[in-house]
Amino acid sequence: MGFLDRFKTKQRRTSEEINKLMVGTFETELGQRLLTHLAEVFIDRDIYKQGMTIEETAFRQGEASIIKKIIMEVERNGRSTVTDDSE
% of residues, the chain, pLDDT over 70: 79
- Asked if 50 and 7 count as a contact pair (C-beta separation under 8 A), the reply is no
Range of the domain at 32: 14-76
Q: Which CA distances in Å does 78 have to 8, 37, 46, 74, 81?
A: 33, 21, 29, 7, 9
**69 Rama class: left (phi>0) / alpha (psi -120 to 50) / beta:** alpha
> Does any domain span residue 6?
no
pLDDT in tens, 22-61: 999 999 999 999 999 999 999 999 999 999 999 999 999 9
> Does any domain span residue 62?
yes
> Does any domain span residue 82?
no
- Asked if 81 and 40 count as a contact pair (C-beta separation under 8 A), the reply is no
Write the CB contacts of 67 (distance below 8 Å, at least 6 apart in sequence). Answer: 35, 38, 39, 42, 43
> Does any domain span residue 37?
yes
